[in-house]
Amino acid sequence: MSEIAAKTPWKGNMGDVPMHIDYFEGSMFEMVEQIAKKYPDQVAFDFMGKSTTYRKLVQEIETCAKALKTIGIREGDRVTIAMPNCPQAIYMFYAVNLVGGIANMIHPLSAEKEIEFYLNESESVTAITLDQFYHKFERVRQNTKVVNLIIASVKDALSKPIKAGYMLTQGRKIEKIPEDAPVIRWAEFMKLSNYCFYRYKVQCKSDDPAVILYSGGTTGTTKGIVLTNKNFNALSQQVVAANPMFRPGDKMLAAMPLFHGFGLGVCIHTMLTQGGRCILVPRFTPESYAKQITKYQCNFIAGVPTLYEALLRLKCMDGANLSCLKGVFSGGDSLSIELKKKFDKFLYDHKATIQVREGYGTTETVTACCLTPSHMYKEGSIGLPFSDTYIKIVEPGTDRELPYGEEGEILLAGPTVMKEYMNHPDETAQTLRTHADGLTWVYTGDLGTMDEQGFVYFKGRAKRMIITSGYNVYPGQLENILDAHEYVQMSCVIGVPDPYKMQKVKAFVKLSAGVEPTEETKKTIMDHCQKHVAKYAMPYDIEFKDDMPKTLVGKVAYRKLEEEELKKHQAVQ
């Protein structure tokens, strides 16, 4: 191993953070089960005013696992979970693991065609979603291999007084599911456990595939990232090792979504395997986030920069006491130096004794693999690698390591590195490469530098990508969808600055011959997008162009459009 890669600078900088950890060798469920035996009566999670202990958590997971076995889920089967952060999603996630299945995690707000793609790409045989998303699943179901569709409802997980209020407000808005719909309702599903008497537990190995998360990878084409039990379990041990102030019973605000490595790996799995307490937030808004921090006196919070920017402007945070906070983590996008300064001041003004700590990672390593130490900050840095994680900077696409301070491609190696891209062996081989040091390195496609103390600095993305409210949006995918419409001759999608989302999505379209650039035309194209694109990736506007700017080789010069929009943005300010 090279001298640069071998340097793990937590040693000395943070004496009690180990360079090496002995990792748990069982399944994700077994790691939760082990901590539940230690703290059976401690609260595992809170959901809209209702608490669930670790003992109850394991009982519900086992009941759910028996029900999965009854409906025919076997070792290696894929089960799609399209849920917000709610109890049923957590029971299902670990139950799938307990019966030896693989949890295929997707965004519940995905468009119909995206849902169809995720179900087929994973070859899922069963799916679970909320009642409000039933109709989307039903419309694409006949094009998939899904046999059983399980429908849960938020109201089923609420205490009686809150359930009454929910049904009068949110519950009334949900479109009714026909009585004879070919689905299994959550309560009926859990009762099916009565017909499974033994052998529902499958002995999983730590290197067995356990979870599929989705990402654009290095090319921007949506792919399933196959992650193992060890990937998730190692992450949980690394996160706690890098945060020696953590204690069992500490509360983490789990508002980051379950289909995202940050939400699932850090906010849920890390907490539930280490005796922490998750405050589940099903419908994320800055207001709901702020309310839960103060109500539960949370010790740890995690979010994207847009969230922290929004908290600065919330009236409800005036006078809030945040002295309870032990850790505030930012990921999913670069935290600007200016925003960090503003948010650190906000924390200080609200009696917190800590500062926001930036991390970095990729879904190919579950999520974070690098974090700013709690006591040592370097301006512009994304921190130091976790225990047993190595980062090196190479000449892009090669294995030639660059000297300190020189910009190149960020490579990652360690126990959280994915197994593969599902159904994409060529791209797996391109992204995962074993070097002469014997380590398998992830080629991230991100650019950065490293200083002599091992601190890493993120400099930009080599791949074309828009990050809006922490979600990755790949322009190429949107352009393919737009170009497929008969009205569109050519399109170009860019991110434009936005004070809240950091970037929002804008489309430029050159219309086909004879098509008039009217509001009706724009609406027709927008309607087409809605069928194929998730809400967070939808363009906020379509601008018609007589012609697109071109590069010397004839490609659409998207950077020129970005520059034009930036000038407009600056002129308005």
Domains, the chain, in order of start with CATH, read: 32-38+52-204 (3.40.50.12780), 466-572 (3.30.300.30)
**Distant-in-sequence contacts of 111-116, Cβ < 8 A, 24+ apart:** 111/136, 111/530, 111/531, 111/532, 111/533, 111/534, 111/535, 112/136, 112/139, 112/140, 112/531, 112/532, 113/140, 113/531, 113/532, 114/532, 114/533, 114/534, 115/82, 115/140, 116/140, 116/143, 116/144
What percent of the chain is predicted at pLDDT more than 90?
66
pLDDT band at 60 (very low <50, low <70, confident <90, very high): very high
What share of the chain in percent tops pLDDT 70?
91
Residue with tokens 């049904």: 167
In order, the DSSP letters of 104-168 are EE--TT--HHHHHHHHHHHT-SEEEEEGGGHHHHHHHGGGS---EEEEE-GGGGS-HHHHHHHHH
What pLDDT is recorded for position 468? 85
Q: How buried is 403 (Cβ within 10 angstroms: 0-12 exposed, 13-18 middle, 19+ buried)?
A: exposed
Give the separation between CA 311 and CA 302, rounded to whole angstroms.
13
pLDDT at 12: 47
pLDDT, position 164: 58
Asked if the model's pLDDT at residue 528 lies above 60, the reply is yes
The H helix count followed by the E strand count for the chain is 19, 27
Amino acid letter at 387?
A: S
pLDDT-derived band of residue 363, with 50, 70 and 90 as boundaries? very high
Distance CA 289, CA 322 (A): 13
Predicted local confidence at residue 282, as pLDDT: 87
Q: Which residues contact 573 (CB under 8 A, 6 or more apart)?
A: none
12 phi and psi, to 5 degrees?
Answer: 95, -50
Res 570: pLDDT: 77
| pLDDT of res. 49 | 87
Mean pLDDT of 477-505: 86
The pLDDT of residue 459 = 79
The model's pLDDT over 24-48, given as tens digits with 9 standing for 90+, comes to 999 999 999 999 999 999 999 999 8
User: How much of the chain is helix, strand and coil, in % rounded to 5?
Assistant: 35, 25, 40
Of 521, 520, 511, which is closest to residue 489 (Cα–Cα)?
511
Predicted pLDDT of residue 553: 43
Tell which residue, 278, 331, 281, has the closest CA to residue 300: 278
Q: Residue 473: which pLDDT band, with cuts at 50, 70 and 90? A: confident
pLDDT tops 80 at residue 71: yes
* Res. 503 pLDDT band, cuts 50 70 90: confident
pLDDT of residue 373: 92
Q: Is the pLDDT of residue 478 over 80?
A: yes
pLDDT number for residue 19: 86
H or E segment to which residue 186 belongs: helix 186-191
Residues 241-299: tens digit of each pLDDT: 999 999 999 999 998 889 989 999 999 999 999 999 999 998 878 888 899 999 999 99
The pLDDT value recorded for residue 4 is 41
The Cβ-side half-sphere exposure at 329, using a 13 Å CA radius, reads 32
* Segment 147-201, tens digit of pLDDT: 999 999 988 876 666 665 555 556 557 888 988 999 999 999 999 999 998 889 9
Average pLDDT, the chain: 89
Least confident of 421-430, 437-446, 484-493: 484-493
Judged against a pLDDT cut of 60, whether residue 484 lies above it is answered with: yes
Q: What is the mean predicted confidence (pLDDT) over 553-563?
A: 73
Q: What is the pLDDT of residue 273?
A: 98
- CB 82, CB 213: distance < 8 Å: no
